[in-house]
Chains A and B, each alone.
Chain A
Amino acid sequence: MLEFRNISFHFPTKRNTIDVLHDVSFTCGEDEIVAVVGPSGCGKSTLLSLATGLRKPTAGDILIDGRPVKGQNRLIGMMFQQSTLLPWRSVVENVELGLEIRGEPKSFRRDKAVTLMRQYGLGGFERKYPHALSGGMQKRAALAQTLAMEPEVLLLDEPFAALDAQTRVVIENDVVKICRAGKRSVLLVTHDISEAISMADRVVVLSRRPGTVKEIFDIPFSRGAKSVADVPAMPEYATYFKRIWDALDISVTGMNETAA
């Protein structure tokens, strides 16, 4: 379980201090997918880097299973927006990277990586280099890399933004399936309301900077859907979309602020 308790984050610049996040609190329970949406620059990605320990909150606590996050944490895995596959390593070497860092023996990590790759439809591509893979396959490899370490909490930073619509649905379904099967806490940052409703159990709406929690929506209906692609056709979808859209309040004045 991942818990944000009264998180504030200020970013000092040469001239002044930027308030990125202000008093943000919410939890992401076990076997739960929570999506964070908000206007660009509202600090939603910052939330993730705070959860990984890459940055420290100015105020507040982040807890995983009740214990505060201090520096690196084995329980956390993150999928970044940009590709984090190392171009000089073959795909299988990339998938086993986390285990290698942990000092797992070679045969163990290789077996695990190969098994995961087969599971995620990457069988036969072990010795290829990342650039030889399609965008969707690269994402699946990155997912396999993250999941090889069996994180309890999975952080996803707009990982599907660069994918084409079809591939995106396939990967989104994979992620939902994998997360449900592993009873993980999943925190997904996205700017796509539709993706948030389709994948998540709850949607946290952040305000413009400094980001505060505006509203939290329970999405009770999408969990039963066979595919994330079916969710927009469900009768409740439009209502939730409208409510979240209104909460986001992306007015013209808001768009003038530059993205951070």
Chain B
Amino acid sequence: MTISWHNLIVTLGRLLVLAVLLLGTELGVRYGILSKLFFSSPTEIYHALQAQYGEGTLMPNIGITVFETMLGLIAGSLAGIATGLVLPQSRTLSRVIEPFLMVLNGIPVIVIAPLFILWLGLGLASKIGISVYIVFFAMFIPVYTASLRLERTLVDALWVMGANRWQIFWKVVVPSSLPSIYTGLKIGSGLALIGAVIGEFVASRSGLGHMILYASGTLDTPTLYLGIIALAIFAAALSFAVDALGHVLVHWRFADEK
């Protein structure tokens, strides 16, 4: 009983905060307390939504950014998982490659972005490329570290049972990395979006990043907010989806908690 009361109060509290924010900006902007240059009321943002939607630019812009992010997340994750799992299988190879990857990982993505634009052009490819690049490291580092710290006893135990290298890889190495893959996905999903938007900021003709930058340049504050809100909603949805996927990936950790 106390738990449900607690939950109810939390939900009501959240709705209250939201209402105060919406109502506060609405009234603040309407009565000139908040400058129209810096803030937009929910009504203005709604009008911007109608306008953008009416011009037929909103949905394509959202779609492009979502597409870039998802492709970046999937391709970057797969590359990161594969490299993180395979590299530790050879001590020599991992020692050769490791410093290069660590240096690359240290370079801030914002300075890598122009290079991707140069290589892949102004279109979607360069944004996906940037996204893949940062997601790769977000995934590679936890998976690689976990593979290096693999529980030796488990490998030995399977070997004694007669397992070959391949069986050990699929029955121990891969499942051992699942919690790290989940970690990589959690970090990577946020970074995939950042990568796509950074690419759009540096040079682009479409996407939510482009819409935000354009609105900012033309002092179209409501559209600027609209872009930010659209990004926030997508980010939240993505994070929710990743959490759901995580429960499947590390199912055993959640098995007996119900």
Contact partners of A53 in chain B: CB under 8 A: 160
Say yes or no: is B62 at the interface (Cβ < 8 Å to chain A): no
Contact partners of B163 in chain A: CB under 8 A: 101
- Cβ–Cβ contact B161 & A129, under 8 A: no
- Cβ–Cβ contact A80 & B252, under 8 A: no
B53 to chain A, nearest CB (A): 46
Q: Which of A74, A84, A88, A102 contacts B157 (CB 8 A)?
A: A84
B174 to chain A, nearest CB (A): 10
Residue-wise interface mask of B (228-250) relative to A, using a CB-CB cutoff of 8 A (1 in contact, 0 not): 00000000000000000000001
Contact partners of A82 in chain B: CB under 8 A: 153
Main DSSP-derived SS at the B contact region:
helix
A109 to chain B, nearest CB (A): 12
Complex: A76 Cα to B167 Cα, angstroms: 19
Query: How many contacts between A and B, using CB within 8 angstroms?
Result: 57
Contact partners of A78 in chain B: CB under 8 A: 157, 160
Contact partners of A98 in chain B: CB under 8 A: 161-162
- Cβ–Cβ contact A54 & B255, under 8 A: no
Say yes or no: is A38 at the interface (Cβ < 8 Å to chain B): no
- Cβ–Cβ contact A97 & B171, under 8 A: yes
Some 13 contacts from A to B, beta carbons below 8 A apart, are A49-B156, A52-B159, A54-B159, A72-B160, A78-B157, A86-B154, A86-B171, A88-B250, A88-B251, A98-B161, A101-B167, A131-B252, A132-B255
- Enumerate chain A interface residues (CB-CB to B < 8 A): 49, 52-54, 72, 74, 76-78, 80, 82, 84, 86-89, 97-98, 101-102, 128-129, 131-132, 149
Known A97-B171, A101-B161; 10 more pairs at CB < 8 Å: A74-B162, A80-B156, A82-B153, A86-B154, A88-B175, A88-B250, A88-B251, A101-B167, A128-B255, A131-B256
